[in-house]
Structure 1
Amino acid sequence: MGLRIGDKAPNFEIETTQGKIDFHDWAKGSWVFFFSHPADYTPVCTTEMGRTAQLAPEFEKRNVKPLGLSTDTVDAHKGWINDVNDTQNTLLEFPIVADQERKVAELYDMIHPGESQTATVRSVFIIDPDQKIRLTMTYPMTVGRNFAEILRVIDALQTTDSQEVACPADWVPGDRVIIRPTVSEEDAQKKFPQGYETLRPYLRLTDINK
């Protein structure tokens, strides 16, 4: 059975482009965007690595550490990073795991035999500072990830963690949020003094930006 939302992210020790890491120690106190790619020196992966590097300030201000992975070697990763930087006009500074023996890929169920017996699919794990898996997404090899959605989800998770709210469909920062049904009317009035709109007893919208 694969990993599920709410599970603790399994720990591992492995070589990366920035030396050997103990995942839990490396991630301590931060959110993590942990993602796999099928192979170095491939076109879609090059654009994804470049986009992750370009978004470094956005990840940093959200206290998120990116961590890439494929089953290539450290030397292959380091050579490819030069191509990423050159073709994507960026500077890739986050570590990439060299999972030659596929131990981490199998631990995180990143190899889907229907796609490839050896290469990882485009898996995404958003992991919180308590090392709990908060979101998983899997993209096929031919389709690059939507980074606007990855940042949106991180924003939504951090918003719902900080207040007793939920985020509606297509929510983006600045939109109204939903007061959770578990919050009583009395508590809602105290917690959300800016007021809220009641569409149904179970559907109350408020603007936390006021």
Structure 2
Amino acid sequence: MSEPEPRLAPHTGLRIGDVAPNFSARSTAGNVQLSAYRGRWLILFSHPADFTPVCTTEFVALAQDAAEFEARDCALMALSVDSLFSHFAWLRLIRDRFDVEVRFPVLEDPTLVIGRAYGMVSADDHDSGAVRTTFFIDPDGIIRAMTCYPANVGRSVPEMLRTLDALKAVDKHGALAPANWAPGASLLRQPKVEIDEIFSAGDATSWFLEEAGKETRI
């Protein structure tokens, strides 16, 4: 028996720091164009399919915390290969079952054009069933962070908010966010780069590992 051919990995060359590819698509909130979101933060995320267990819990959690993203001037936008009418039926079910309304746009991508442009799916994929990808896009349309989870593991909404807060904080202060950073905790200063400053530092680590003060509002 011959060995199965290896599955090609998603690849489009998109990296942190790249401009997010523009697109237009139908959504549950009307026609959407990515460039219309310039001037504010945007979290674009894919889900494998409507009417699936993990995706349903994600959408309930995101809808429940939608005000938290709005307070940070960040829009949410979802997409999958499902049709617009499948999205409508699923969001109606979520409302009736969980008493929460999903108001952020959910895009249809039946031909995988958007998914492939963003590297969410491989060129040899026929559906997005194995992908749960998130892009954090800043007000200038630049991709600032990306995450990718398998279909059987849901995202953490608190971690999405923490990542957004950290990105906004480091932009505001020109500082660094350490491990497990959250609003109210100290940021780190950028390391010194002049040899005289390094030799004159008070100890062996303060030139590259020094707190920059706390950030309480983003």
Normalised TM-score (structure 1): 0.87
1:34 lines up with 2:66 in the alignment: no
Q: Deviations over 1:17-57 (max 9, x none)?
A: 112121111x1211011000001111111111111111111
1:12 lines up with 2:23 in the alignment: yes
Query: Over aligned residue pairs, what C-alpha RMSD do you find?
Result: 2.3
The 1:198–1:51 alpha-carbon spacing in structure 2 relative to 1, beyond 3 Å, is farther
The 1:182–1:127 alpha-carbon spacing in structure 2 relative to 1, beyond 3 Å, is farther
Identity of aligned residues (%): 38
Q: Is this contact kept in 1: 2:56–2:94, CA < 8 A?
A: yes
Partner of 1:202: 208
Partner of 1:122: 132
Runs of 4 or more consecutive aligned structure 1 residues displaced over 3 Å after TM superposition: none
Q: Is this contact kept in 1: 2:116–2:123, CA < 8 A?
A: no
Q: Is this contact kept in 2: 1:3–1:109, CA < 8 A?
A: yes
Q: 1:128-143 residue pairs with structure 2 within 5 A?
A: 128-143=138-153
Which has the larger Rg?
2
Normalised TM-score (structure 2): 0.84
Q: Is this contact kept in 2: 1:40–1:77, CA < 8 A?
A: yes
Q: Is this contact kept in 2: 1:164–1:183, CA < 8 A?
A: no
Gaps of 5+ in 1: 185-196
Partner of 1:111: 121
Within the candidate set 132, 156, 180, 1:146 is matched to: 156
Matched residue SS, 1:134? strand
CA distance in 2, matches of 1:207, 1:177: 6
CA distance in 1, matches of 2:24, 2:175: 36
Partner of 1:189: none
